[in-house]
A and B are shown apart, each in its own frame.
Chain A
Amino acid sequence: MEIHQILPTISPCDAIGNEAFVIRDILRSWGYKSEIFAQNIHESITTANYLSEHKKRSSKDNILIYHFSIGSDVSKYVMEVPDRKILLYHNITPPHFFYNINDNLALILGKGREELKLLVDRIDVALGDSEYNCIELEEIGYTKTGVLPLIIDLSKYDKYNKGLIAKYDDGWTNILFVGRIAPNKKQEDIIKCFYYYKAINPRSRLYLVGGFNGCEVYYDQLQNLIKQLGLKDIHIIGMVDFADLISYYMLADVFLCMSEHEGFSVPLIESMHFGIPIIAYNSTAVPYTMSGAGILVNRKCYPEIAEMINLVVTDEKLRERIIAKQNTRLKDLSYERTMDLFKDQLNKVIHKW
C-alpha cells in the first residue's frame, strides 16, 4: 500500500505545503511509499511531482490524501481515481469578501465551496486541521470526520533581525497583526481601533505584517483610509522573511486581530509563544484556537477596543494574567503533543480499512 498526497499548488513558506512534507516524512518513516503531487510546483521545490505523474501510482489499494483549500481541477481528478481518499480540509474563505477586490479569487473560492459539496460522497474520511474546520465539514454533510491538528514547531522560531529590533525598541507601544492583507482579515478595523488608540497614546505604532499579493485593491483602500484619517505610524510591511517576522513579534506589546474569517490562525499561537497579550475578534476558528485564553472581542466598538489596548499595555496585573492564561493554552499545542495526536489520528485513519 502506498500513501500519496495531492494538492493544487505547492510553494515554499506555505503552511499547507509544509504540512504535506511533514506527513510524507512520517509516512515514509512508517515504511510506506509516499510522494507529493501538485498541479503547480514552485521552481524552488524539487521533491514534489506533477499531478499527471500520479496516474501511474493510482490504485484502489492505495490511499490518496487531498489537501483542500481552494477550488481547482484537482478535485475533478480526485473524484475519478480509484484510490481510497482522505480529505484534509484547510478551510475556504467565503468568496464575498473578495468581490471587487479579487474577482478571480472570489471565483475560485466559490468554485471550491461547490467542489467541497460535490466531494462529500467520494471521500472516505474528511479531516479538518482545526475543530472549527471539522464542524464546517459536518455542516456540509461529511459524516466520517476528525481533527488532524496543525503542527507548529515553535522551537524553530529562534532567528531574528537585530537591526530591526534596535530600530524600533524605543519605548513606544507596538501593536501587531500578522496575516495576509486580505478583506476577510479586516485590517481596516485594526486601523480604526488604532485611530482611537493613537489619540490615547501618541507614542504608539501599528505593524501590519503580511503579503498583499492578489489584494492590491484592498491594500490601496487601506492606504486611502489611513490618509483620510490622517494617521501616522502605521507600517504596512508586506511579506517579510522569517527572521523579520520573529523580530516584529519580539517588538510587539499587543497582538490585535479583527479578522472575520480564520480557519485556524497560526499567528495567534505565535503571539502566545512570544508572550504577547492577544485581543481578537470572536469569529470563526478564533475562539477555538484561543480556547479560553486572551481577550475576545464580541462587538467592534473601536473606542472600547482602544481603551482595552490601553489597559492591557498599562495594567501590569491584567497583562500578566492574560499572558499566563495564554501560556497555559500554549502547552496544549506543544510540538510533541500535537505531533503525537497527529500521528495517532493519521494512523487511525489509515488503518480503518
Chain B
Amino acid sequence: MVGITFMNTFEINDEEVNVEEIMRKIRENISKRKEQGTYPPPLDEVNQQLISNQKMAIGEIKGQIADDLANLRINCDIQNNSYVISSHRPVVGKVLIKGREGVHGEVRRYVDPMIFKQITFNQNASNVLNNAAYRLSRIENEIGNFESKEANQPRFESKSLKLQLRETNARLLQVEKETDERLFDVEDRLHALKQQINDEIAVNRKMYEMAEQVRNDVNMLLSQLKNEIRAENEERMRSVILSMNDDIKKKAWLAKILDERNAHGLSQTEMLLQPPHQDTGVNYFVFEERFRGAREEIAQRQTSFLRYFEGCKNILDIGCGRGEFLETMHKHGIGARGVDLDETMVDYCRSKGLEVELEDAFDYMEKLEDSSLDGIFIDQVVEHLEPSYLVRLLKLCFQKMKYGFYLIAETVNPLSFSSFANFYIDLTHIKPVHPETLKFLLESTGFREVKPVFSSPLPETMRLQKLVTNEGVTYVERQQVEIYNRNIEMLNATLYGAQDYAMIGKK
C-alpha cells in the first residue's frame, strides 16, 4: 500500500491468502449482484424492530454519556418480564405453582401501583434528563459553531443556526456517501497502480538484466579483441623486425661485396660486365636499383595491368625481380607467386613475405598442372631470352594457363630511338623484341585478342620542344610554326617515344 492502509472487513493470517484480492472479488461480486438485482431489499428498508441494539443515538451526544442516557431509557420499564412461575417437580409441582401464583397475585396488588408510579417517574426522569442532555449538547454545539464562525467566517445572520446545522448535517451525509464511493474507487486505483508498479519493476529488472548481459558480452568481446590485436601486433612486429634484420643483413652483405669490389678497383661498368649467373645475381639487384627505377614507380606503372588480373587466384610472375608486381597484386587481394633465377632477388622477395621460387621459369612451369594458372606476367624478361627459348616458354605458358585468362609480357620498346639506344646498357639483354614480332609469337602460340600497350613516355623536358605562336604573328609565320611542330611531333614519336610496351594476350 502507498502510505494509506485500509482496514479490511476481513483478516486472514495466511501468507498464501491474498486478502486484498479476496476483498476485490467480494466487492466485484456485490456490485455485480446489485446490478443483477440478486440481493433482497437492503436491511435498512425492511422495517425491522430494534432488538438487542439497545443503545440509541441521541442527538449529537457521543461517548459514555450517550450510553448512559440510552440505558436510562431502556431501563425505565422496571417490569420483570423474565419472571415465570413454574416447577419441575412432577407431583407437588402443580400445588406449588398454585401457591406461588396466589402469593404473586397478592404481592402484585401491592406492588403494581408502586411499579407503575416508579415506571412513570423513571420515564419522566429519563425524558427530562435526555431532553436536558440534548439541549445542553445543542447549546454546546451552537456555542462551538458561534465561536468557530466568529473566528473564521463572516456571520450569516439571516439563517438560523439550526437550519445551518441541518444543512451541514445533510451535506456531511452526502460527503460521507461520496467519500465512501471515492474510497472504493481510490482503493481500486491503488490496486491497479500497485499492479502497474509491479509490472514496471519487473520490466526494469528484466532490462537491467539484459543491460548487464550486454555489458558482460561487450567486455568479453573487448578483451577478446584486445588479445587478438595484441597477438596480431606482436606477429607484425616480429615479422617487421625479422624482415628488418634480414634487410640489414642483406644490406650489410651487399655493402661488404661492393666494398670488396671497390677495393679490387672494379668500376661499376666492369661490375656489370660480370657474366650473369646465379651466383653473381647481386649485379642485377644493384643494376635494377640504379637503372630500372624506384620500386614504387614500377609498382605504380604495373597497377594499369590490374584490370586483366581482377579476381585471379593463381598468377605467375616470371622473372619477378624485386617483387613489385607480386606486392601490387597482394595489395589488391589477387593471388600471385613469382619465380626468378636470381638468389638475391628471391631472398629479398621472401623477406617481404612474398611467395617466390628460385628456379628456372621453364623448369618451374613444367611441374605445374596444365590449365592451372589464371594469369602470367613477364616483365622485362623476353629481351633476355634466346628466340628459341622464348618460343618454347610462350608455348609452355599457353599450356599451363586456364582458358579466358591473360598473359602480359612487357619489354623495352625498340620503336623509340631513345629506349633502343639504351637497350644495350643492360649487358644481359640479348635482343630487343619488336612489338609486331612479339604479337606474332603470341598469336602463333594460340593467344587471342593480342594487343600492344605502350607505356613509360619520357618527360616533356627530355623531348624536343614545340614552338609557341604569339599574337600578332603573320599567317605565313603561323603556317610555318605548325609545320615545324608537326615535324617535332614525328621526331619525338620516333626518337623519344614510349620506353616500354606490353603485349597482352588472352588464352
Q: Is the CB of B26 within 8 A of A311?
A: yes
Q: Is the interface of B mostly helix, strand, loop or mixed?
A: loop
Q: Is the interface of A mostly helix, strand, loop or mixed?
A: helix
Q: Is the CB of A195 within 8 A of B11?
A: no
Minimum Cβ distance to chain A for residue B354 (Å): 81
B163 within 8 Å of A by Cβ? no
- CA of A311 to CA of B17, assembled, Å: 13
In the assembled complex, which residues on chain B have CB atoms less than 8 Å from the CB atom of A104?
80, 82-83
B13 within 8 Å of A by Cβ? yes
- CA of A308 to CA of B54, assembled, Å: 28
Q: Is the CB of B38 within 8 A of A100?
A: no
The contact of B11 among A186, A199, A229, A298, by CB within 8 Å, is A298
In the assembled complex, which residues on chain B have CB atoms less than 8 Å from the CB atom of A218?
51-52
Q: Is the CB of A99 within 8 A of B75?
A: yes
Stretch touching chain A among B41-49, B152-160, B433-441: B41-49
Q: Is the CB of A321 within 8 A of B30?
A: no
The contact of A192 among B43, B49, B82, by CB within 8 Å, is B43
The contact of A321 among B16, B39, B46, B51, by CB within 8 Å, is B16
In the assembled complex, which residues on chain A have CB atoms less than 8 Å from the CB atom of B54?
96, 99-100
Minimum Cβ distance to chain A for residue B14 (Å): 5
Q: Is the CB of B43 within 8 A of A318?
A: no
Which size bracket describes the interface of B in this complex?
35 or more
With contact pairs A96-B54, A200-B33 given, residues A322 and B49 touching in the complex (Cβ less than 8 Å): no
Among A289-316, those with CB < 8 Å from B are 292-293, 295-299, 301-305, 307-308, 310-311
The contact of A296 among B11, B27, B74, by CB within 8 Å, is B11
Q: Is the CB of A183 within 8 A of B52?
A: yes
B107 within 8 Å of A by Cβ? no
B422 within 8 Å of A by Cβ? no
In the assembled complex, which residues on chain A have CB atoms less than 8 Å from the CB atom of B52?
97, 101, 183, 186, 188, 218, 221
A225 within 8 Å of B by Cβ? yes
Q: Is the CB of A100 within 8 A of B74?
A: yes
In the assembled complex, which residues on chain B have CB atoms less than 8 Å from the CB atom of A103?
78, 80-82
Q: Is the CB of B82 within 8 A of A214?
A: yes
In the assembled complex, which residues on chain B have CB atoms less than 8 Å from the CB atom of A221?
49, 51-52
The contact of A322 among B12, B77, B78, by CB within 8 Å, is B12
With contact pairs A297-B10, A308-B26, A325-B13 given, residues A199 and B51 touching in the complex (Cβ less than 8 Å): no
The contact of B13 among A101, A228, A292, by CB within 8 Å, is A292
In the assembled complex, which residues on chain B have CB atoms less than 8 Å from the CB atom of A214?
82
With contact pairs A188-B52, A311-B25 given, residues A195 and B43 touching in the complex (Cβ less than 8 Å): yes
Q: Is the CB of B11 within 8 A of A217?
A: no
Among A56-106, those with CB < 8 Å from B are 96-97, 99-105
The contact of B40 among A195, A299, A308, by CB within 8 Å, is A195
Q: Is the CB of B14 within 8 A of A299?
A: no
With contact pairs A103-B81, A217-B82, A311-B26 given, residues A225 and B16 touching in the complex (Cβ less than 8 Å): no
- CA of A106 to CA of B247, assembled, Å: 124
Minimum Cβ distance to chain A for residue B81 (Å): 6
Q: What is the total number of residues of chain A having a CB less than 8 Å from a CB of chain B?
A: 48
B263 within 8 Å of A by Cβ? no
| CB nearest neighbor in B for A300 | B9
In the assembled complex, which residues on chain A have CB atoms less than 8 Å from the CB atom of B13?
292-293, 325
Minimum Cβ distance to chain B for residue A80 (Å): 30
Among B52-89, those with CB < 8 Å from A are 52, 54, 67, 71, 74-75, 77-78, 80-83
| CB nearest neighbor in A for B26 | A307
Q: Is the CB of A318 within 8 A of B71?
A: no
A347 within 8 Å of B by Cβ? no
With contact pairs A183-B52, A221-B49 given, residues A99 and B10 touching in the complex (Cβ less than 8 Å): no
- CA of A228 to CA of B7, assembled, Å: 32
The contact of A228 among B26, B30, B49, by CB within 8 Å, is B49
Q: Is the CB of A100 within 8 A of B7?
A: no
Among B235-269, those with CB < 8 Å from A are none
B148 within 8 Å of A by Cβ? no
- CA of A1 to CA of B14, assembled, Å: 49
B8 within 8 Å of A by Cβ? yes
B202 within 8 Å of A by Cβ? no
- CA of A218 to CA of B75, assembled, Å: 16
Minimum Cβ distance to chain A for residue B382 (Å): 99
| CB nearest neighbor in A for B49 | A224
B273 within 8 Å of A by Cβ? no
In the assembled complex, which residues on chain B have CB atoms less than 8 Å from the CB atom of A318?
17, 22
A282 within 8 Å of B by Cβ? yes
- CA of A199 to CA of B12, assembled, Å: 25
Q: Is the CB of B10 within 8 A of A228?
A: no
Minimum Cβ distance to chain A for residue B326 (Å): 82
CB-defined interface of B97-110 with A at 8 Å, one 1/0 digit per residue? 00000000000000
- CA of A90 to CA of B317, assembled, Å: 119
- CA of A207 to CA of B184, assembled, Å: 34
In the assembled complex, which residues on chain B have CB atoms less than 8 Å from the CB atom of A305?
9
B29 within 8 Å of A by Cβ? yes
The contact of A298 among B10, B48, B82, by CB within 8 Å, is B10
Minimum Cβ distance to chain A for residue B12 (Å): 5
- CA of A297 to CA of B9, assembled, Å: 6
- CA of A29 to CA of B10, assembled, Å: 46
In the assembled complex, which residues on chain A have CB atoms less than 8 Å from the CB atom of B39?
196, 199, 303
- CA of A301 to CA of B78, assembled, Å: 34
- CA of A141 to CA of B132, assembled, Å: 36
Among B1-35, those with CB < 8 Å from A are 7-14, 16-17, 22, 25-27, 29-30, 33
Q: Is the CB of A302 within 8 A of B83?
A: no
Max chain B Cβ within 10 angstroms of own Cβ: one of A104, A217, A293, A308: A308
In the assembled complex, which residues on chain A have CB atoms less than 8 Å from the CB atom of B25?
307, 311
In the assembled complex, which residues on chain B have CB atoms less than 8 Å from the CB atom of A192?
43
Q: Is the CB of A307 within 8 A of B40?
A: no
Max chain B Cβ within 10 angstroms of own Cβ: one of A186, A188, A218: A188
In the assembled complex, which residues on chain B have CB atoms less than 8 Å from the CB atom of A299?
7, 9
In the assembled complex, which residues on chain B have CB atoms less than 8 Å from the CB atom of A216?
82
In the assembled complex, which residues on chain A have CB atoms less than 8 Å from the CB atom of B67?
96
- CA of A311 to CA of B23, assembled, Å: 11
Going nearest first, the 8 A-B pairs with the smallest beta carbon separation are A183-B52, A292-B13, A296-B11, A221-B51, A307-B26, A102-B82, A299-B9, A304-B9
16 contacts between A and B (CB under 8 A): A99-B54, A103-B78, A199-B40, A218-B51, A224-B49, A228-B49, A229-B43, A292-B13, A296-B12, A297-B9, A297-B10, A304-B9, A304-B10, A311-B22, A311-B25, A321-B17
Given contacts A183-B51, A216-B82, A298-B11, 17 further A-B contacts (CB under 8 A): A97-B52, A100-B74, A103-B78, A103-B81, A192-B43, A195-B43, A199-B38, A199-B40, A221-B51, A228-B47, A229-B40, A296-B11, A296-B12, A298-B9, A307-B29, A308-B9, A321-B17
